[in-house]
C-alpha cells in the first residue's frame, strides 16, 4: 500500500507520495523530525497490548488515599529520619517520570506503538508516585534533602537515563527493583497508615512496570537473536555491563541512609543484597527468554529465592 505523507518544512507544507519507507516526516521551523511510518499502527503485540489495557484499568489517584488517617509518627526524630530516607525515593519517582516521558516519542519514532501506548500509563503511574511522596513530605512536615546535600540519589538516576529503550530499561530494572524492595519493607513495617497505603499501591504499579520491562527486553532479544545471534550476544553483554554500572551507583545511597533505616527497622545491607541478585537475574531472564524463543533453545536459570516473595 502506498500512503500519502505530509512533509512540513518550516511554515510551508508539501505533499508527496512516499515510496518504500511509507514515511511521514514533519518539521516545524527546522525543529525535530517526527517520523510516522504507518497511518494504521501495528497493534499485534498481544502481551504489550494486554499490559496497556491493564495499565489503564488499574489507575488510581493520590486523592484515593485517606490523608486524614491518624498519624502514628508524631516524634521529631522519626520524622527527620523519614525525611532523609524518603529523599532518594522522591528523587527516583521524579526521575522515572522524566525518563518515561522522554521515551514515549522515541518508541513512536521506532513505530513501537503498543510499547508507546503502555508507556503513557507508566508515565501516569510515576506522576502519581511523585505526587504521593511530595504530599507525604507535607504530612510529616519535612522537606527532602537538597541535591547538594544528598547527591547520591541524583547521581544514581543519572546512570539510568538513555535514549536507547533497552539500555534505559536495563537501568530502570535496577531502580524499579529497588523501589519494589523498599516499598515492601516500608509497607511491612507499617509505620504510618498513609505510608503503608502508598507503598501497597506502588507495589502493584511496579509489578506492571517490571512486567513490561521483561516483555520488551525479551521481544527485542527474540528479534535480535533471530536476525544476528552474534550481534545479540554483544548487545546482551553491553546491557549486563550497563546493569553493573547502574548498580555501582546504589551503595552511596545505601551508605547515606543506612543508619536511619536501621533505626526504623530496615536492614539496608539485606536490601542491597536482594537488589543485586534480583536485578541481574531479571535482566538475564529477559535476554534468555528472547534467545530461547528465537532459537528454540531452553535455558534454565536458577531464580533467587527472594523472587517469589516479591511477586
Ligand atoms: Fe514509581
Ligand atoms: Fe516505576
Segment 105-138, tens digit of pLDDT: 999 989 999 999 999 999 999 999 999 999 999 9
For the stretch 246-269, pLDDT in tens is 999 999 999 999 999 999 999 999
pLDDT of 277 reads: 92
Considering every ligand atom, which ligand is closest to the CA of 127? 1
Which one of the ligands is nearest to 92 CA?
1
Report how far ligand 1's centroid is from the alpha carbon of 77 (Å).
26
Ligand 1 centroid to Cα of residue 206, in Å, is: 7
Q: How confident is the model at residue 43 (pLDDT cuts 50, 70, 90)?
A: very high
Binned at pLDDT 50, 70 and 90, residue 24 comes out as: very low
DSSP for residue 82: H
**pTM for this entry:** 0.87
- Cα angle at 222 between 228 and 51, to 5 degrees? 150
Q: Which residues pair with 14 in a beta bridge?
A: 7
Residues 251 and 157 in one domain: yes
Q: How far is the CA of 78 from the centre of ligand 1 (A)?
A: 23
Same domain, 78 and 130: yes
Query: What mean pLDDT do residues 204-224 have?
Result: 96
For position 145, which CATH number holds? 1.10.620.20
Residues 235 and 142 in one domain: yes
Residues 35 and 48 placed together within one structural domain of the fold: no
Please state, in angstroms and as integers, the Cα–Cα distance from residue 56 to each residue in 51, 52, 153, 178, 217, following that order. Answer: 9, 6, 30, 24, 22
By DSSP bridging, strand 12-17 and strand 4-9 are: antiparallel
152 pLDDT tier (thresholds 50, 70, 90)? very high
pLDDT score of 11 more than 80: no
Q: Which residue has the higher pLDDT, 49 or 311?
A: 49
The per-residue pLDDT of the chain, averaged, comes to: 88
Residue 18 has pLDDT above 70, yes or no: no
Is a pLDDT exceeding 60 seen at residue 30?
no
Strand partners, 4: 17
Read off the pLDDT of each residue in 2-8 and give the average, rounded to a whole number.
37
- The reported pLDDT for the residue numbered 22 is 43
Do the beta carbons of residue 238 and residue 221 sit within 8 Å?
no
Dist CA 205 CA 203 (whole Å): 5
Residue 19 pLDDT more than 50?
no
How far is residue 29 CA from its own chain's centroid?
Answer: 33
d(CA 160, CA 183): 20
Q: In sequence order, what are the beta bridge partners of 15?
A: 6
Grid coordinates representing 283? Answer: 535482566
User: How many domains, the chain?
Assistant: 2
Residues flanking ion ligand 1, Cβ below 5 Å = 93, 126, 129
CA of 126 to the centre of ligand 2 (A): 6
Structural domain of residue 24, as residue ranges? 1-40
Q: Are residues 22 and 63 in the same domain?
A: no
Query: Looking at the structure, do residues 172 and 159 belong to the same domain, yes or no?
Result: yes
pLDDT of residue 2: 36
Give 39's pLDDT tier (boundaries 50, 70, 90).
Answer: confident
Count of CB atoms within 10 A of residue 195's CB? Answer: 25
- Percent of the chain with pLDDT strictly greater than 90: 78
Residues 146, 71 share a domain: yes
Find the range with the poorest average confidence among 14-23, 83-92, 231-240, 301-310. Answer: 14-23
30/93 same-domain check: no
Amino acid at each position: 500500500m502506498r500512503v500519502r505523507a505530509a512533509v512540513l518544512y518550516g511554515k510551508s507544507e508539501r505533499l508527496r507520495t512516499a515510496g518504500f519507507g511509507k514515511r511521514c516526516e514533519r518539521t516545524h521551523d527546522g525543529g525535530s523530525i517526527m517520523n510516522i511510518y504507518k497511518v494504521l499502527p501495528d497493534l499485534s503485540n498481544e502481551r504489550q497490548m494486554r499490559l496497556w489495557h491493564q495499565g489503564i484499568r488499574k489507575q488510581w489517584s493520590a486523592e484515593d488515599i485517606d490523608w486524614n488517617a491518624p498519624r502514628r509518627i508524631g516524634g521529631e526524630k522519626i520524622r527527620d529520619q523519614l525525611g532523609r530516607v524518603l529523599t532518594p525515593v522522591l528523587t527516583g519517582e521524579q526521575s522515572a517520570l522524566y525518563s518515561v516521558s522522554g521515551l514515549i516519542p522515541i518508541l513512536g519514532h521506532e513505530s513501537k506503538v503498543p510499547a508507546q501506548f503502555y508507556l503513557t500509563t507508566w508515565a501516569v503511574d510515576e506522576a502519581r508516585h511523585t505526587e504521593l511522596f511530595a504530599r507525604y513530605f507535607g504530612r510529616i512536615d519535612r522537606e527532602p534533602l537538597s541535591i547538594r546535600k544528598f547527591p547520591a540519589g541524583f547521581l544514581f538516576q543519572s546512570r539510568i537515563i538513555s535514549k536507547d529503550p533497552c539500555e534505559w530499561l536495563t537501568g530502570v530494572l535496577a531502580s524499579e527493583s529497588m523501589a519494589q524492595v523498599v516499598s515492601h519493607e516500608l509497607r511491612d513495617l507499617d509505620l504510618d497508615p498513609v505510608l503503608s497505603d502508598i507503598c501497597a499501591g506502588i507495589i502493584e504499579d511496579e509489578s506492571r512496570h517490571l512486567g513490561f520491562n521483561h516483555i520488551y527486553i525479551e521481544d527485542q532479544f527474540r528479534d535480535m537473536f533471530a536476525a544476528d545471534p552474534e550481534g545479540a550476544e554483544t548487545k546482551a553483554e553491553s546491557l549486563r555491563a550497563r546493569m553493573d554500572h547502574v548498580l555501582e551507583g546504589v551503595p552511596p545511597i545505601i551508605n547515606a541512609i543506612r543508619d536511619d533505616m536501621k533505626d526504623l527497622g530496615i536492614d539496608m545491607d539485606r536490601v542491597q543484597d536482594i537488589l543485586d541478585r534480583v536485578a541481574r537475574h531479571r535482566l538475564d531472564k529477559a535476554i534468555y527468554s528472547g534467545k530461547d524463543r528465537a532459537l528454540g533453545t531452553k535455558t534454565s536459570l536458577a531464580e533467587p529465592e527472594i523472587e517469589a516473595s516479591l511477586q
